[in-house]
Every structure is written in structure tokens, then in C-alpha cells.
Amino acid sequence: MDNQKNLLEVSHLKQYFPVRQGLHKIPLKAVDDVSFTIRPGETLGLVGESGCGKTTVGRTLLRLYQPTAGRIVFDGDVLFDSEQGIDVDMLPYRKQMQMVFQDPYSSLNPRMTVEDIIGEPLDVHKLYSNRKERREKILSLMETVGLNAEHAMRYAHEFSGGQRQRIGIARALAVNPKFIVCDEPVSALDVSIQAQVVNMFEELQDKLGVAYLFIAHDLLVVHHISNRIAVMYLGRIVETADADELNESPIHPYTLSLLSAVPIPDPKTARAQKRIILEGDVPSPLNMPSGCAFRTRCRYATEQCAAECPGLTDRGNGHLVACWNK
């Protein structure tokens, strides 16, 4: 892989949490052998149902969780490598890697004014020479995300959900990052506000050249904003492709079922399209089935699926799929 092309390279990332069962501790495999790359200014969408490990991937990348194993390379620098024992201090990289959290209601400090919330990263990294410059930067950031200057002295509880998420985005942009993890940034917002926030993310990307890992479970939103999409199931990536290609010619049975659940505005087309309903329950990450984790709900499952877990194989055009039978 050429480091010049990729801003972020993640290889065989694992994140296990020890869970006590009786007298023993067993690993909960939240993220199990995940690999992907993101180029500068690109958006990779990460989709999957609740509990599949999407948020854990984002938090582990930014080292809010200590990775169990794997390798993370950012902008040519190795941040973590379990085999070589590399584990760097993240503080210098916090300016380049930021996060927009899912819940705008709990991710903002209720005791701080908007000015102090947005200004906190500037304070931590000492990115101003005097109070006047600090205030100018904060007001400029507020303008960038569509907030008025008179909002600066208010508190977070005085704002709507969409406005709070804009405050969170301004806070993330304060340090002028190269990469932002967007952890379901629109799922807690009204549908009418979702479009505004998604469009704002796109405008900011055009203006600033920032790269996103855009985590969501709404495939319509992800398809709209992403260059490429990775589909995740129970801690593993099962399919990765260009956004349009994944939408038009999905291969993995799980991706097919996810796309069949996307609502279609045209009633005739919607009636003609058959909804693929998965049978069976999602297995517990504490007691995973052998081989392919999806086989317990898959109509194409064979003995080979139970025997060993399929790796991602290239089906052409960089369309990667982890499946024995498709």
C-alpha cells in the first residue's frame, strides 16, 4: 500500500472487552479483524445494525478505547502496532483526528457556554495568541456551521438538536483536523434537520478537504454522503465497495437484506421489490457461531460456512466480499 495515497490505514484491528461470566472472564469480540483504508478528503461510510461494532471501530481509531490488537497508520505515522509493540502518545494527533458524537444532548457540557465548548480544543492545543484571536476564531467557526454570533454566550440546553449537533461539529473543526469520525451524527435528529446537517458535512469537506469515517445505519444517508461503503456484521466487515456499486449490485446476503429494507418513495417500485427478511436472532458476541457469523441467518449457508470464516476477496473494481457462496 502506498502511504501517500492513504490518510488512514487500519489492518486486522481487534477490540475485545473482558466480560465476567460467573468466576471467569471471557472476551466480548466487539471488533474482530477489521481492515480498511481512507484516502485524504474521502468519505468511507460504515453501516450495519445496532451492536455490530461500528461505534467501537471509530472510538478505537481515535484511541478512546485501547485496541486489543492490530495496526493503525495515520498520515504515514504508525500510531499503534500490537506486533511491533508500538503505542504512541495520541495528544499530538488529536489536532488531526476528531470526532462528532452521536448524541448532541449528552456530548456537550451543560455548564459551559457555546463559546467555551467550541473554544476548549483551542485552549488545550494553545491555538491562539490572545483572547481577541480566540474569540474571532470561535465566531468564525460558528459562522461556518450556520450559528449566529449572539448564540456564543448561551448554554447548550437552549438549543434544538440540530443546533447542538452544529456546536459539536464546530468543536471538532476548531483544530482544523484532517480526519473526523462522524458517529451517527444525524440519527438523533428530526428528518428535516438530517438533510441540512448532511449537506453541511459535504460543504465542509469541499471547503476544507477533511476525510470522514461516517458511521450510520441509514443506508440512504450513507449512500448520499460516501465515496465508498463498508458493511459490518457482528464485529467484521462483510462487504466493501464504491457507494454507487454497492447500492446497484450488492453481493453479500446481509447487504442484500439491508438494502431491501430501504424505503422507496415510488409505491409501484416498492411493491415490486421483495423485502428480504432475515430469520433467526443475531448471535451474541459472547457466544459466536463457528465459521461465518452470519450463517445462522443466511439462506445460502453450507457446511463450509460453519467450518471456516470467509476472508474479504476482490470481485473486481475493488468490490470486496466475505462470502463462500455468492
What is residue 207's predicted lDDT score, i.e. its pLDDT?
Answer: 93
Reduced to 3 states (helix: H, G, I; strand: E, B; else coil), residue 155 is strand
- DSSP lists the bridge partners of residue 38 as 8
Report, as an integer, the average pLDDT of 257-281: 79
pLDDT, tens only, 131-148 = 999 999 999 999 999 999
pLDDT category of residue 4 using cuts at 50, 70 and 90: low
What is residue 145's predicted lDDT score, i.e. its pLDDT?
Answer: 92
List the strands of the sheet with 86-87, edge to edge.
24-38, 8-21, 69-74, 77-81, 86-87
Domain 8-96+177-249, CATH number (from 3.80.10.10, 3.30.70.990, 3.40.640.10, 3.40.50.300): 3.40.50.300
Q: Residue 268 is placed in which grid cell? A: 409501484
Report, as an integer, the average pLDDT of 73-91: 95
Residue 5 has pLDDT above 60, yes or no: yes
pLDDT, tens only, 179-218 = 999 999 998 888 888 888 899 999 999 999 999 999 998 8
DSSP 249: S
User: What are the residue ranges spanned by the domains of the chain?
Assistant: 8-96+177-249
What is residue 76's predicted lDDT score, i.e. its pLDDT?
Answer: 94
Q: What is the pTM of this model?
A: 0.92
| CA R_g for the chain | 21
